[in-house]
Chains A and B, each alone.
Chain A
Amino acid sequence: MKQDPSESLSFEEAMTRLEKIVEELETGTQSLEVALARFEEGVALGKVCRTLLEKADLRVRTLMETPDGELTEGGPSDER
């Protein structure tokens, strides 16, 4: 299940995957090809995590009340 560490990953997904890869490499049971592939993926994931941390913007959405009393999502709020 090779994953392409693209920008669509959330921070948590990237982080979880990265930690899992390091854990796997620690056991050192996989073949050299797999280990090298994991290594490359891990390096890419590390970059994704760093980028997300540096570039991310807090996105705030507000749940508003509709006339029939339901709470629904409003547009992104730019109150800040």
Chain B
Amino acid sequence: MPAAGPPIFSVAEINAIVRELIEGEFSDIAITGETSNVRVHSSGHVYFRLKDAGAQLAAVCFRSDARMIDFDLEDGIQVVARGRLTVYEAQGSYQLVVRTIEPAGRGDLERQYRLLVAKLQAEGLFDEARKRPLPRYPRRVAVVTSPTGAAIRDILSTLERRFPCVDVIFVPVRVQGDLAPGEIVRALDTLSSRGNIDAIIVGRGGGSIEDLWAFNDEEVARAIHRCAVPVVSAVGHESDVTIADLVADRRAATPTMAAEIVVPDRRDVQRHVDALARSLATRIRDGLQSRRRRVAECLGSYALGQVAGRVERAMQTVDFAITRLLRAETSRAHTARARIDATLARLDGLDPRQVLRRGYTVCTDAESGCVVRAAADAVASRDVHLTFSDGSVAAEVSGTVQRREASR
């Protein structure tokens, strides 16, 4: 018989109970420690260990969460990992399943960031109203960035490609680490006091929040604010807005975009120049045309027209007079001729030969020589003369009188 004592569990039972206790108690915890033994499995899951002076804890971050890690997770980093504890019953071990992980102190940084944003905002450093426009065609562009990063290469090649008519003044500075803010501030102040610079690009390529921290520095913000030259910030991280971005006159998401903002595209400018040249030609042509028109208008002006009109009217009067004279003359001549013609025609009508020409015949008595005027006088067997227009013939009346009915 077993002696009275503690209850006896099977291994499976105790592991199940521990699992329930641990998982129930630590479903959402944050643990700080130093990373070690970081391994990224081909599945995308990240395995590592969290440790401090005398203790270690296994941790895993599954792929979907590991994708969201926004800094270089490597050995020896002090981090804050948040997630839940799970027990692996088969091994009797437990581990931290990490949902989010960030470098230790980031919480402090974020608090610091929020406080500084609020402070500078209250001072008006972010006011849109004080943001200065960039010149359309800058002559000198200064670039404040690291001499070794991709940023300076991207900026120079973009300037070269788009608008090579600019002089670039490059100020190499550190863009991360404790010395970075001071160098950036000094570069900006130097450029500001130099004059004859049209725009400044200040920035760096992408990185973690810690990497970008120099651009959240208060002194950097103030140097941008007091800079006499418009500043374009180019801190290569689209999701994080740095304080430098908020103060700058323009914000670019990447160094390449900063260069694109600062200079125009030469093809656009080329088109503009061509349009201006065309406009120039049009203007001068229009100008000449309008002058020509004005000359024409002057020549046809009212004043000149008055004189011309009088001359014209005088000439018309003369013309009219001449016309009337001519007409009177011709009509008189015409009338005279018409009268003569009419008289002659009447005379013509009076010529008995005219009548004969129309087919009439004059009948005369052969004995008496008198004109036979009536049918009754033309007695049978009487000799008569018939006179035609061209001569006469002797004839004898043979018929009897056929009296014509009196027609009324």
Residues of A in contact with B (beta carbons under 8 Å apart): 10-12, 15-16, 18-19, 21-22, 25-26, 28, 32, 35-36, 39, 42-43, 46, 49-50, 52-53, 56-64, 71, 73, 77, 80
Contact = CB atoms under 8 A, between A and B. Distances in A.
A50 B168 contact: no
Nearest to A30: B287
Interface of B: 135-139, 156-157, 159-160, 163-172, 186-187, 190, 266, 269-270, 273-274, 276-277, 279-281, 283-284, 286-288, 290-291
A80 B157 CA distance: 9
A64 to B, nearest CB: 8
Contacts of B137: 11-12, 15-16
14 contacts: A15-B269, A15-B273, A21-B280, A22-B279, A22-B280, A42-B276, A43-B280, A46-B274, A46-B277, A49-B273, A53-B273, A59-B167, A61-B169, A61-B170
- Per DSSP, chain A at the interface is helix
B276 A46 contact: yes
B277 A56 contact: no
A36 B280 contact: no
B190 A63 contact: yes
Contacts of A26: 279, 283
Nearest to A47: B277
Nearest to A11: B165
Contacts of B136: 12, 15
Given A22-B283, A59-B167, A12 B156 contact: no
A50 B276 contact: no
Given A43-B277, A50-B270, A64-B172, 18 more contacts: A12-B137, A12-B138, A22-B276, A22-B280, A32-B291, A35-B287, A36-B284, A39-B283, A42-B280, A46-B277, A49-B269, A49-B273, A53-B266, A58-B168, A63-B171, A63-B172, A63-B190, A73-B169
A62 B139 CA distance: 16
A22 B274 CA distance: 12
B287 A12 contact: no
A39 B288 CA distance: 12
B164 A57 contact: yes
Nearest to B144: A63
A62 B276 contact: no
Closest 7 CB pairs of A and B: A25-B283, A12-B137, A11-B165, A46-B277, A39-B284, A56-B164, A56-B165
Nearest to B160: A58
A10 B165 contact: yes
Contacts of A15: 136-137, 269, 273
A53 B270 contact: yes
Contacts of B167: 59-61
B276 to A, nearest CB: 5
Contacts of A35: 284, 287
B139 A25 contact: no
B170 A77 contact: yes
A63 B169 contact: yes
Contacts of A50: 270, 273
B241 to A, nearest CB: 28
A39 B280 contact: yes
B274 to A, nearest CB: 8
A61 B190 CA distance: 15
Nearest to B168: A60
A59 B143 CA distance: 13
Nearest to A15: B137
Contacts of A10: 139, 165
A21 to B, nearest CB: 7
Given A15-B137, A15-B273, A58 B164 contact: yes
A43 to B, nearest CB: 7
Given A18-B273, A46-B276, A71-B190, A58 B156 contact: yes
A10 B277 CA distance: 18
A35 B285 CA distance: 11
